[in-house]
């Protein structure tokens, strides 16, 4: 066994090499666990238009679902199946630090849980995940491969250097502007693009994801 301190400052005792891991978010946790070849037994799920459960992005990149992967659905956002989780006998649960307190308390009854840092800094959360599951060597290998591909792409797309971008999303009558949007905005910045002044102000104020705004700010969101 070993002891680590997670992003929330919690001291957690976990196995040297976890053998039964639950990912509490399919696209941002389970996908990365699979990339590290970590043993995943449970994952958050989504439901498609036909009522079938799937793991977002996991199906796209690896062709895996709950029928062919040996991974069990442990529920969906705000509809978690804690009984199903307990039945999987996990030796490690991976979630993000901004999970609700009562949710974390329930997960702690199921198994040891490590909370990952929520930040716009690239690969910080991924590195913490790799350390938790004992796959830092695999992470460093994949990171080096990624960085090499980014350098090639920057050489192919010199026109992107210093160009501005805005991540804007309209939904159900609301307008949101994002300081960061996971891998999407990270990739744009790795290619040399930069946030608008509006989005940079969000980052400076500690905004991680987005904020609802009025249409009046649209002129400030003009970008390349």
Q: What share of the chain is helix, strand, coil (3-state, %, to 5)?
A: 40, 25, 40
Query: Both 188 and 133 in a single domain?
Result: no
Q: Is the confidence at residue 183, as pLDDT, over 90?
A: no
Query: Both 212 and 131 in a single domain?
Result: no
Query: Both 17 and 119 in a single domain?
Result: yes
Output b/e per residue, 110-134; b: 16+ Cβ within 10 A: bbbbbbbbbebebbebbbbbbebbb
What are the tens digits of pLDDT across the range 3-19? 999 999 999 999 999 99
Query: Both 171 and 112 in a single domain?
Result: no
Residue 145 lies in a domain: no
* Mean pLDDT confidence for 34-51: 97
Burial class (CB in 10 A: 0-12, 13-18, 19+), 105: exposed
What's the pLDDT at 109? 97
What are the tens digits of pLDDT across the range 64-112? 999 999 999 999 988 999 999 999 999 999 999 999 999 999 999 999 9
Query: Both 97 and 172 in a single domain?
Result: no
Q: Which helix (H) or strand (E) holds 105?
A: helix 101-110
Q: Which helix (H) or strand (E) holds 12?
A: strand 11-14
Q: How many residues in the chain?
A: 224
The pair of structure tokens assigned to 148 is 């090499």
Residue 149 lies in a domain: no
Query: Both 7 and 61 in a single domain?
Result: yes
What are the tens digits of pLDDT across the range 114-158? 999 998 889 999 999 999 999 999 999 999 999 999 999 999 999
What's the pLDDT at 121? 87
Domain that holds residue 202: 160-221
């Amino acid at each position: 066994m070993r002891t680590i301190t997670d992003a929330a400052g919690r001291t957690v005792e976990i196995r040297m090499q976890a053998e039964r891991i639950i990912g509490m978010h399919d696209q941002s946790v389970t996908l990365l666990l699979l990339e590290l070849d970590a043993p995943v037994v449970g994952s958050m799920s989504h439901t498609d238009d036909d009522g079938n459960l799937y793991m977002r992005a996991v199906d796209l990149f690896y062709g895996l679902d709950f029928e062919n992967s040996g991974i069990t659905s442990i529920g969906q956002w705000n509809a978690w199946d804690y009984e199903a989780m307990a039945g999987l006998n996990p030796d490690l649960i991976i979630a993000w630090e901004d999970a609700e307190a009562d949710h974390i308390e329930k997960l702690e009854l199921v198994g040891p849980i490590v909370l990952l840092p929520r930040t716009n800094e690239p690969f910080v959360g991924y590195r913490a995940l790799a350390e938790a599951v004992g796959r830092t060597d695999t992470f460093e290998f994949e990171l080096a491969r990624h960085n090499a591909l980014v350098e090639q792409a920057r050489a192919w797309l010199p026109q992107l250097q210093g160009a501005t971008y805005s991540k804007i999303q309209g939904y159900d009558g609301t307008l949101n502007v994002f300081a960061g949007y996971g891998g999407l905005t990270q990739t744009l910045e790795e290619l040399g693009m930069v946030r608008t002044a509006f989005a940079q102000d969000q980052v400076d104020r500690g905004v991680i994801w987005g904020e609802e705004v009025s249409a009046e700010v649209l002129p400030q969101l003009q970008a390349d």
